[in-house]
Amino acid sequence: MTFVLVALGAGVAVSVELLEALAIVLAVGVSRRWADALIGAAAATVVCAALAGLVGPVLLHSVPLDALRVTIGVLLLLYGLEWLRKGTLRLAGRRSRSSSLAEYLETQEQLDDLPPPAPGQPDWAARLVAFKGVLLEGVEVVLIVSALASRPSGPGPALLGAGLATAAVLGAGVWLRRPLARIPETELKWGVGVLLSTFGVFFTAEGLGVDWPAGDLALLYIAFVLAATSQVQAHWLAREPARA
Amino acid sequence: MSTLRTLKKLILGETWLLPVGIAIVVATTALLVRPLAGTAWHRVGGLVLLAGVLGVLAISVARGARPRASISPLAGGRWWVAWRSGLRERS
């Protein structure tokens, strides 16, 4: 069961991050030139791959097992609770919903203000926008997948989930050449927040010497309690009028 | 400055409340509750940590739902916030 939950957590986290990166690259490609968009994205991918090559082995080889569990747990809690906080506020209507399409349109608008690229000359502005977009989302992907893959039981499920998600998002991007407007990103991100926070609590406690009642099944009741707390607070905030 | 802000947002998130809250909860459970709980720690330690994390989440969401600053000098006593806000509204 842990295998499935880790693969699911990594897969959904990677797919929502890549959707945002893809929206930016598509906007650059459509508004400027595809070659410059792809060069910027490729450069950022190389930087992210180098970071992944550094972070994973450092976590695995230089930190003792219990300290590793606490480190991974705290890292996952940092990401998970941030996503869960934003997700709860979005579900309560206290924050705008997450949308790759909005990001796509915003990037297109930014690029429209720039002068068009000269023929035969590299379009550095477009490359930089694509690079920055992919790098920022990619670093989050690297940190989340590295944390999930550094579990003592092995990197298999995290890498499988991340690989499937990457293939799915890139395939959709190449096929549609537009961001996927109908994906419920707010709910997906909220779900990722619940999963990452669940793993964060589970691993941190294990690192501190806790034997969870019911073993790995604890993941289910931790997820339930986190999700229920967030939903109750979202409903309560949604009913309470926002004070100006 | 903007690079540092982006880096901070990337690693620690949008608010200091979460990283500080997580640090306090983990440090308190590890350094205070664990020695006090003795042998019971193995069974209840996880639930204590979970309760702390739920508290941090609830507080951070409640803070995020509040308006950023009071613009009433009487309510918040922050006359300079009201003054600056008024300036921004006028401009």
Averaged pLDDT score across all residues of chain B: 75
Tally C-beta pairs within 8 A across A and B: 103
CB proximity list for A37: less than 8 A, separation 6 or greater: A25, A26, A28, A29, A126, A127, A130
- pLDDT of amino acid B8: 67
State how far the alpha carbon of A107 is from the alpha carbons of A20, A122, A127, A186, in Å: 11, 19, 13, 20
pTM for the whole thing? 0.75
Please tell me which of A81-85, A110-114, A129-133 the model is most confident about, judged by mean pLDDT: A81-85
Least confident of A21-35, A198-212, B40-54: A21-35
Q: Is residue A37 within 8 Å of A128, Cβ to Cβ?
A: no
State how far the alpha carbon of A62 is from the alpha carbons of A54, A59, A202, B17, in Å: 12, 6, 22, 29
- pLDDT of amino acid B25: 95
> Cα distance from B18 to chain A (closest Cα, Å)?
7
State the distance between the two ends of chain A, measured CA to CA, in whole angstroms.
46
| Mean pLDDT across A50-72 | 80
- pLDDT of amino acid A64: 80
> Cα distance from A117 to chain B (closest Cα, Å)?
26
User: Looking at chain A, which residue has its C-alpha nearest residue B48?
Assistant: A205
pLDDT > 80? residue A44:
yes
Confidence band of B75 (pLDDT split at 50, 70, 90): very low
CA distance A162 to A14: 6
CB proximity list for A69: less than 8 A, separation 6 or greater: A152, A203, A204, A206, A207
Of the candidates A25, A171, A24, A202, the residue with the CA atom closest to the CA atom of residue B53:
A202
Of the candidates A241, A240, A6, A33, the residue with the CA atom closest to the CA atom of residue A129:
A33
State how far the alpha carbon of A192 is from the alpha carbons of A19, A77, A80, A82, A199, in Å: 14, 11, 7, 10, 11
| Mean pLDDT across A115-143 | 84
Residues of B in contact with A222 (CB under 8 A): 50
B13 three-class SS:
coil
Confidence band of B82 (pLDDT split at 50, 70, 90): very low
| Mean pLDDT across A17-30 | 85
Q: Supply the ipTM of this predicted assembly.
A: 0.73
Interface of B to A at Cβ within 8 Å reads 6, 10-15, 18-19, 22, 26, 29-30, 34, 41-43, 45-46, 49-50, 53-54, 56-58, 60-62, 64-67
Cβ contact (<8 Å) for A78 and B41? Answer: no
Confidence band of B74 (pLDDT split at 50, 70, 90): very low
- pLDDT of amino acid B4: 66
3-state secondary structure chain A: CHHHHHHHHHHHHHHHHHHHHHHHHHHHHHHCCHHHHHHHHHHHHHHHHHHHHHHHHHHHHHCCHHHHHHHHHHHHHHHHHHHHHHHHHHHCCCCCCCCHHHHHHHHHHHHHCCCCCCCCCCCHHHHHHHHHHHHHHHHHHHHHHHHHHCCCCCCHHHHHHHHHHHHHHHHHHHHHCCCCCCCCHHHHHHHHHHHHHHHHHHHHHHHCCCCCCCHHHHHHHHHHHHHHHHHHHHHHHHHCCCCC
Residues of A in contact with B57 (CB under 8 A): 81, 84-85, 88, 197, 226, 229-230
Higher per-residue confidence, B52 vs A53: B52
